[in-house]
């Protein structure tokens, strides 16, 4: 039987199935990227809720796996060479799982790098900018009298949506007919911007019909519908 007892995180979140990949997460736009990919792969895995309300992400156990105290993180008992691998950062996890499975990545080397390019576009642009807009529009930032910070992120979010609108024109997915980890990274954030952040009107959602088309196709996937709710909130 696989032994994960050397990993401190398993003392706070015991592995009931240590032979399975262990996911430590929360159903946020970053967190669900990994649960969606795992659902698409159909692999057995064990999901552990990292509860921000009780500051689980700041616990010594979680920090032992991810010193940056962010979700998601994984512990794969069957990593490279058959040895356990601990990994954090959602983009790195997506790429690792896609390469390990040989799925959701193009086989052509040039197209693989193009997919990585769009994954980095989400990590460096879409996620941070949409997240800041969410803060200034829905959360504490909405009470600031000075609306210039909010308007800055509105403008940048519209610009990024425009980039996506142009990219998916005439395409089923970011990379054309092939559904990849770039889609799994990007579309949860678009869904959150229009839905949970309630910023659709603010960014002019109606101006991006191609984005809406691909988002609808993404959300309709059964694996996406499952992954959006993993781990289950208390």
Tell me which fold the domain 109-224 belongs to: Glutathione S-transferase Yfyf (Class Pi); Chain A, domain 2 (1.20.1050)
**Higher pLDDT, residue 178 or 140:** 178
- Quick one: pLDDT at residue 93? 98
Q: Please report, for the chain, how many H helices and E strands are present, in that order.
A: 11, 4
Q: In whole numbers, what is the pLDDT of the chain averaged over residues?
A: 96
188-209, pLDDT tens digit by residue?
999 999 999 999 999 999 999 9
pLDDT at 233 over 90: no
The per-residue pLDDT for 166 is 98
Strands (E), the chain: 21-25, 45-49, 73-76, 85-88
> Model confidence at 25, in pLDDT bands (50, 70, 90)?
very high
Which two structure tokens, joined as six digits, stand for 195?
Answer: 């839905």
Q: Contact 30/54 with Cβ under 8 angstroms? A: no
The C-alpha atoms of residue 24 and residue 59 are separated, in whole angstroms, by 13
* Residue range(s) in the chain whose domain bears CATH number 1.20.1050.10: 109-224
Q: What percent of the chain has pLDDT over 70?
A: 100
Six-digit token string for 98: 């896609």
When pLDDT is averaged across residues 42-62 and rounded to a whole number, the result is 95
Which CATH architecture group holds 9-103? 3-Layer(aba) Sandwich (3.40)
Confidence of residue 234 (pLDDT cuts 50, 70, 90): confident
The answer to whether residue 111 scores a pLDDT higher than 90 is yes
Domain with CATH 3.40.30.10 in the chain: 9-103
- Assess whether pLDDT exceeds 90 at residue 142: no
The dihedral built from the CA positions of residue 7, 44, 218 and 226, taken in this order, carries a sign that is: negative
Report which DSSP code applies to 125: I
Report the pLDDT value the prediction gives residue 1, as an integer from 0 to 100. Answer: 56
Instruction: Decide if 71 contacts 24 (C-beta within 8 A).
Output: yes
Sign of the Cα pseudo-torsion (17, 21, 22, 26, in order): negative
User: pLDDT-based confidence at 210, cuts 50/70/90?
Assistant: very high
- How does pLDDT run across 118-131, given as a tens digit for each residue? 999 999 999 999 99
Q: How many CA atoms lie within 13 A of 54 on its CB side?
A: 9
Kindly state the percentage of the chain with pLDDT values over 90. Answer: 94
The predicted model scores a pTM of 0.96
């Amino acid at each position: 039987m696989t032994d994960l007892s050397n990993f401190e995180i398993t003392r706070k979140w015991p592995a009931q199935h240590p032979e399975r990949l262990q996911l430590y997460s929360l159903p946020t736009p970053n967190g669900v990227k990994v649960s969606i990919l795992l659902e698409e792969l159909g692999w057995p895995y064990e999901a552990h809720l990292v509860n921000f309300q009780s500051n689980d992400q700041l616990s010594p156990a979680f920090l032992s796996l991810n010193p940056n105290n962010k979700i998601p993180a994984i512990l794969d008992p069957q990593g490279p060479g058959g040895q356990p691998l601990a990994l954090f950062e959602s983009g790195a996890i997506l790429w690792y799982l896609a390469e390990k499975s040989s799925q959701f990545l193009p086989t052509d080397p040039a197209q693989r790098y193009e997919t990585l390019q769009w994954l980095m576009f989400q990590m460096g642009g879409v996620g941070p900018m949409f997240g800041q807009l969410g803060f200034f529009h829905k959360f504490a930032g909405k009470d600031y009298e000075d609306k210039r910070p909010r308007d800055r992120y509105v403008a940048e979010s519209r610009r990024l949506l425009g980039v996506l609108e142009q990219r998916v024109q005439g395409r089923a997915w970011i990379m054309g007919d092939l559904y990849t980890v770039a889609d799994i990274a990007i579309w949860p954030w678009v869904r959150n911007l229009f839905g949970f952040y309630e910023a659709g009107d603010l960014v002019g959602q109606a101006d991006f019909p191609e984005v809406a088309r691909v988002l609808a196709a993404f959300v309709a996937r059964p694996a996406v519908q499952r992954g959006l709710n993993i781990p289950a909130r208390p």
